Structure 1
Amino acid sequence: MKDANATAHKGQKAVARMGYIAKGVVYLLIGGLAIMAAVGLGGKNASSKEAINSLASQPFGGFMLGVLGIGLFGYTIWRFVQAWSDTENKGSDAKGIVTRIGFVISGITYAGLGVYCFDIILNAAYSSGGSTEDRTAKLMSYPGGVYLVFAVGLVFIGVGIRQIWRAVKRSYLKNWHTQEMSRHQLKVAEGITRWGLSARGVVFMIIGGFLCLAAWNTNPDQAEGLGGALSTLASQPFGPWLLGIVALGLISYGGYCLLNARFRDVS
């Protein structure tokens, strides 16, 4: 029995670490494309699926997509384990339940990206799977859909604020095996993480703001996803600089995911 538990624990750790690597790759792609757009090297402000599309066109793209898809499914499994087993000790009060439901929603989202990877391999399905505006319009068409879109926007804003708060409070440290890091490694890891979390928080708040605006005006065309949020930054005064800062932050968030793959406690 002890051997079986040890094997299951090793399997869980492998799945979680593989998942964090896959998530990190997605954000490295998004940030890389955005920084290329900021400096005029032909990149673009891409959504997660568009970033995955860019990987498909590379040499051995099909193989890389397969590995990425498997990793994203691994992240999905880990998110479900976090929710079911309460690995983060969130508890069963209202706040804990909401957080654990958030883990499930996150897992479903990345499962969708994993499926998309294999859709490309099997069907060469180079599409975004419907724009943010289309999905928002469909949601608004249901009874109470406008209120639901507004609520989703508030959730995005709340998640964005929480990301920035985590960067300020350094709450990520309690999840790391910091004893395995040298002082220099920890300092570098913290710099990467705080920049990454802050940039992701800003992007999520922009997405949430657009969703709330779309619901308030009953106009789904005002909704924007990740690519739209980055384009909004680029269109502001000093836009290329703003986009560059946030793009580097998204790359840093990808680095944070890779740090989680190496140092995070996934027991």
Structure 2
Amino acid sequence: MVDKSEKFNWLVRVGYFSRAILYAVLGLIALTSADQIAQGTDGIFQAIENYPAGTVILWIMVVGLLAYALFRFCSPLFDIENNGSDTKGWAKRIGHAGSGIGHLVLAYSAFQFASNSGGSSGGGAQGAASGVLSMDFGGVILGLLGVAFFVTAIFQFKKGISGEFMHRISNAAPDFTRWLGGAGYCARGVVYAVIGWSLFKAGFMSAGAEQVKTLGDAVASLAGAGLIFTVTAIGLLLFGVFSLILARYRIIPDLDSSAGVPSFRA
């Protein structure tokens, strides 16, 4: 059983709060600072580090992003979101696993800055990818991880367009939550697709570990894409605001392995 105590719920809410800071800062610097966004994920944490009480905020993000990653891993392991075990349910659960891996990487990057041990989040991800590629079938593993990110990207777009994420949010949330989430999820779909493509190329097309992109690197790679870059950056900023609302109004689901397909999917 997953620990569904009040402590677990609060950890998940801190995770959403940390995600809010991350995406709001990412969208903001993408729109306002070409030099900083060019630094990829490091630019995000450097910006936070320079804020008043920046180190304290970074430590909160370390705990929060780690908690959020573990929450996402509960989906494939324990089906905490009650997506079911049919093909559609497993596709969502695999997508959540990809999200968990991505947020673990971000938690480690935040830890590096919070502990004053330096940045290089992109280099860290590429180093890890290089280690995977050196293993037997490492390319397949990395390529399949890219596929997991593609699956996640598809479901991000689907969530944004359909608004199905509102089933997990309290009715007390502000009325504009639906539109914030719709824009934010579609923007995340773009970013996750870029990350997935980088992993797919590194794993299945022998493009090398240096092709692997983290969250900030993926956004930076869109900088020359004109309107796509601007719309994605605005969407990520809105997703930060949306995540702040989730920190208060997200319904943390109970684990019920006997429930089967959720009623709102029937």
Pair 1:191-2:179 in alignment: yes
- With structure 1 as the length reference, what TM-score do the two structures score? 0.79
Matched, 1:10 2:6: yes
Distance 2:66 2:87 in 1: 28
Identify unmatched segments of 5+ residues in structure 1: 1-7
**Residue of structure 2 equivalent to 1:170:** 163
1:22-41 mapped onto 2 (5 Å cutoff): 22-37=18-33
Render the CA deviation track for 1:107-159: whole Å, top value 9, x for unaligned: 45434533443443334423326255444333222221222222222221121
Point out the more displaced range, 223-232 or 254-263. Answer: 223-232
1:55 matched to 2:48? The reply is yes
| Structure 2 SS opposite 1:233 | coil
Partners of 1:61 and 1:88 in 2: CA distance: 33
Q: Give aligned-pair identity as a percent.
A: 27
Alignment map for 1:151-162 (pairs within 5 Å):
151-162=144-155
Paired AA for residue 202 in structure 2: A
Which of the numbers 57, 63, 67 marks the counterpart of 1:64? 57
How many residue pairs are counted as aligned between the two chains?
250
Q: 1:207 aligned to 188, 195, 207, which one? A: 195
Cα offset for 1:165? Answer: 0.8
User: Structure 1 counterpart of 2:192, which letter?
Assistant: F
C-alpha distance 49-79 of structure 1, shift in aligned 2 (>3 A) = farther
Instruction: Go from structure 1 to structure 2 and tell me whether the alpha carbon gap of 1:46 and 1:23 turns closer, same or farther (over 3 Å shift).
Output: farther
1:59-78 CA-to-partner distances (Å, cap 9, x unmatched) read: 32222222222322332453
Cα offset, 1:160, TM superposition: 0.7
For residue 238 of structure 2, what is the aligned residue in structure 1?
Answer: 252
Cα 1:162–1:45 shift into 2, 3 Å: farther
8 Å contact kept, 2:160–2:181: yes
Structure 2: gaps of 5 or more residues = 254-266
Shift of 1:219: 1.9
CA distance in 1, matches of 2:240, 2:203: 31
What is the Cα deviation at residue 265 of structure 1?
0.9
Q: Deviations over 1:179-205 (max 9, x none)?
A: x14xxx32x211111110001101111
When residues 46 and 89 of structure 1 are mapped into structure 2, their CA distance, relative to the original with a 3 A threshold, is farther
- Matching of residues 72-151 of structure 1 within 5 Å: 72-80=65-73, 86-93=79-86, 96=89, 99-100=92-93, 102-103=95-96, 106-107=99-100, 109-128=102-121, 130=123, 132-151=125-144
> Does residue 223 of structure 2 align to residue 234 of structure 1?
yes
Letter in 1 for 2:163: R
Report the CA distance shift for 1:102/1:135 in structure 2 as closer, same or farther (over 3 A): same
Q: Larger Rg: 1 or 2?
A: 1
- Whether the 8 Å contact between 1:33 and 1:46 is mirrored in structure 2 is no
Aligned pair in 2 of structure 1 residues 59, 124: CA closer, same or farther (>3 Å)?
farther
Matched residue, 2:264: none
Q: Helix, strand or coil: the match of 1:91?
A: coil
Counterpart-to-counterpart distance in 2, 1:223 and 1:105? 14
> 2:37–2:43: 8 Å Cα contact kept in structure 1?
no
Hey, what's the Cα distance between the residues in 2 that align with 1:222 and 1:117? 22
For 2:167, give the aligned amino acid.
K
Decide whether the 8 Å contact of 1:153 with 1:209 is kept in 2: yes
The amino acid that maps onto 2:11 is V
Deviations 1:20-50 (A, max 9, x none): 111111111111111113xx5x541454454
Give the TM-score normalised by structure 2: 0.79
